[in-house]
Amino acid sequence: MMKFQNPHDRSSAVRRLLVAAVLAGSVLTAAACSSPDSPVSSPASASSPIASPSASAQPGQADARELLAQAREAAKTMKNYEFKLRMTQKLKTGTAANDSDVSVDMEGRAELGPLKLDQQVSSVTDGQAYSIRAILVPDAYYMYDPEFEEWSKTPKEQTAEIAKTLSDFQVDPGKALAAVAALGGGLKSEEAADGDKIAFSGNGSEAKAFLDTVLESTLDLSGMDPKIRDSIKLSSLNVDVELDPASHLPTSYRIDSVMTVEYEAGKPSTLTQSFSGSYAKINAAAPVTVPEAAKEAPELDPSELDTGSAQFD
């Protein structure tokens, strides 16, 4: 991600890469540059925590684990698919001027082994809308900005770094399901309208470990200041995964979480995040191809950018 000293004074090329990076991965970090004037109480106080799921067997637990094992095996057969993904983040700092509200919608198709991705992304960050088409192939990352009506691409050495910002739910369903399975004893199976459903609700250590895998793509967890990262406290986590009853393939998922984070020591802000998506045309999606205009696009100059921060000053 990039850090701009003045977001109103940048070239169109740099702006395109900013938009692409914002829409590709972590998107809610503006509050890291602010100083909230007053703390916000955690939705789940220390005196009344949400009970952590018990490690003992629960009704539906065996079925949930069996269903997830079947789903993980089925996911190995996923070679290509269409997907939709939506994320919303609401940050409450206690000072309205420092609050933030983000929504991101992604729709496209993916190929696995090697990874190829073609997606249309729309984002609204505190009322400011962005839209871009992004194509990721093993040796390049291309972007089409409809405002400028032209393609650009990042340097080859940055492609792998951009790929790391993508969620496993987006580009590696099998690995995402493995993370769900690690939630362990709190998992339950439920009936859904169109298939089987795996559900989890809790805020224990296993829930926090799972949430960290989600926050890696939605909040650039590993790129955070360690003090800020360590201040994150989970209040609640709810996970739902729906499976096709015949093929056991994943069809949709939803991950809702509430946490507190201290961008300023001793002043926790409340972050509410919803992350959901679905899969379609599994092993029947159109191939990912790169338009000739994109191949001929100019390569952005990395010397113009500070890619070490996701903060917008």
| Residue 295 near residue 143 (C-beta atoms within 8 A) | no
pLDDT of amino acid 42 = 36
Q: Is residue 6 part of a domain?
A: no
* pLDDT per residue as tens, the chain (313 positions): 332 233 333 334 444 444 444 444 444 544 444 444 433 333 333 333 333 333 444 555 669 999 999 999 999 999 999 999 999 999 999 999 889 999 999 999 999 999 999 999 999 989 989 899 999 999 899 999 898 899 999 888 888 888 888 999 999 999 999 999 999 989 999 877 778 999 999 999 999 999 999 999 888 888 889 999 999 999 999 999 999 999 999 999 999 999 999 988 999 999 999 999 999 999 999 999 999 999 999 888 766 544 443 332 3
pLDDT of amino acid 33 = 42
Give me the helices (H) in 98-224, please.
156-164, 168-171, 173-181, 205-218
CATH number at residue 162: 2.50.20.20
pLDDT of amino acid 302 = 63
The residue with tokens 């899969």 is: 279
Q: Is residue 211 part of a domain?
A: yes
Q: Is residue 49 part of a domain?
A: no
The boundaries of the domain holding residue 279 are: 12-32+55-299
pLDDT of amino acid 304 = 52
pLDDT of amino acid 290 = 97
pLDDT of amino acid 154 = 87
pLDDT of amino acid 17 = 47
Domains of the chain: total: 1
Q: Is residue 257 part of a domain?
A: yes
Per DSSP (E only), the strands in 112-266 are 116-125, 128-137, 140-145, 150-153, 188-192, 195-202, 233-243, 250-264
| Residue 260 near residue 31 (C-beta atoms within 8 A) | no
Q: Is residue 43 part of a domain?
A: no
Q: Report the C-alpha gap between 229 and 270 in whole angstroms.
A: 14
pLDDT of amino acid 210 = 97
| Residue 160 near residue 307 (C-beta atoms within 8 A) | no
| Residue 17 near residue 300 (C-beta atoms within 8 A) | yes
Q: Is residue 44 part of a domain?
A: no
